[in-house]
Amino acid sequence: MDAAAATKPAIRPLTRDDLDAVVAIDAAIEARSRRDYCERRLNAALIEPKLHAQFAATDKEGLSGYILARVLEGEFGRSGPELRIELVGVRRDVQGKGVGRELFNALGEWARRHGIHDLRTKAAWNDHSMMRWIDAMGFTLVPDMVIDCPVNSGQYTPKRDDAPEAEPAPERDYSSNRADFERLARDNADVRSMQPADLAEIVRIDTHITGRNRENYIKAKLAEALSDPAIRVSLTARLDGILVGFLMARSDLGDFGRAEPVAVIDTIGVDPGFVHHGVGHALLSQLFANLGALRIERVETVVAPRDFGLLGFLYDVGFKPSQRLAFVRRLD
């Protein structure tokens, strides 16, 4: 047996018993403990095992590394399943010895067995160590735009300029009175937390927008919202009692070195018959209010550069290009 084979780590599924070791390795990398985030990621995999792939590397000293990923099934119109890497870490004394590559290879094999051909991730452009690993694993930059917006303690203040809007601004200028403007946006529709009974109507709207029935994807998001409402902050909007819009979002408390709690919007949709009725503004206004109460500081999303309508709407309400970049590794 050669030296490389002798030192090659053993790879197995990550378990709940690995939590303390994962937290310790993560804290050594990030210089702070993110136990709550790590525990949520592990628990999510136990609740929905078909939507998660999590692997551990071990040696004679114990846990030497880990990788956690989640299946993407339909965020913003994706037509096929993909796998998003959420967290990866290697114990300091074995960094640079191929542990991360072995974990990545195990993840790739899992993806292939499950008919998944694209691995995705995001990272800040100035996280140089992560950028080196992403490059070494064969990822390439994708054109999808990562954009974000400060929550500002829940204050919702769309820009007042001549930028194109997906929904028109109110006739009066409320920019001098922020409280009135926020109230006006939320009063455009009856916005409330998403519930299981909303599934059929959400699927109806989503099918009108995407041209595909994505009931399984939406059902999974609803299940996640109910299993851990502290992570899910998804909303619906009604006019005259009819569900006319929805927004699916989640709090993301730690992937790849975030220094602040962030919410991520996965999907937003408005019934085509109710576009330009302020539904999108109402959903975002309530989202910002909820995130402010949770002390979440930023909200982020990823948008295809050709989706001009969505980009125009989000830019109008204050989103800007993020310091984070999106990457893909095609397994084929």
Judge whether residue 208 has pLDDT over 60: yes
> In whole angstroms, what is the distance from residue 167 CA to residue 270 CA?
11
Question: What are the tens digits of pLDDT across the range 280-319?
Answer: 999 999 999 988 888 888 899 988 888 888 899 999 889 9
φ/ψ of residue 251, rounded to 5 = -80, 140
pLDDT of the residue at 255: 54
- Helix, strand, coil content of the chain in percent (nearest 5): 40, 30, 30
Domains defined for the chain, CATH in brackets: 3-116 (3.40.630.30), 145-323 (3.40.630.30)
Looking from the CA of 215 toward its CB, the CA atoms found within 13 Å total 7
Q: In the predicted model, what is the mean pLDDT of the chain?
A: 83
pLDDT of the residue at 230: 57
Neighbours of 197 (CB within 10 A): 10
Closest to 9 measured CA to CA, from 86, 134, 107, 100: 100
Which pLDDT band, with edges at 50, 70 and 90, does 146 fall under?
Answer: very high
Which pLDDT band, with edges at 50, 70 and 90, does 232 fall under?
Answer: low
Neighbours of 190 (CB within 10 A): 17
Closest to 282 measured CA to CA, from 192, 186, 194: 186
Question: What are the tens digits of pLDDT across the range 154-191?
Answer: 777 665 444 334 443 333 333 333 444 444 466 678 99
Q: How far apart are the two ends of the chain, measured CA to CA in Å?
A: 31
Least confident interval from 199-208, 246-255, 268-277: 246-255
In this prediction, residues 206-229 reach a mean pLDDT of 79
pLDDT of the residue at 187: 67
Q: Is 278 left (phi over 0), alpha (psi -120 to 50) or beta?
A: left
Closest to 261 measured CA to CA, from 125, 147, 150, 107: 150
> In whole angstroms, what is the distance from residue 109 CA to residue 112 CA?
5
> In whole angstroms, what is the distance from residue 328 CA to residue 122 CA?
9
Which pLDDT band, with edges at 50, 70 and 90, does 233 fall under?
Answer: confident
User: What percentage of residues in the chain have a pLDDT greater than 90?
Assistant: 45
Question: What are the tens digits of pLDDT across the range 78-93?
Answer: 567 889 998 899 999 9
3 state SS for 241-266: CEEEEEEEEEEECCHHHCCCCEEEEE
Judge whether residue 14 has pLDDT over 90: yes
pLDDT of the residue at 212: 84
pLDDT of the residue at 41: 82
Instruction: Tell me if 292 sits within 8 A of 304, measured CB to CB.
Output: no
Q: When comparing pLDDT for 162 and 130, which is higher?
A: 130
Least confident interval from 74-78, 218-222, 264-268: 74-78
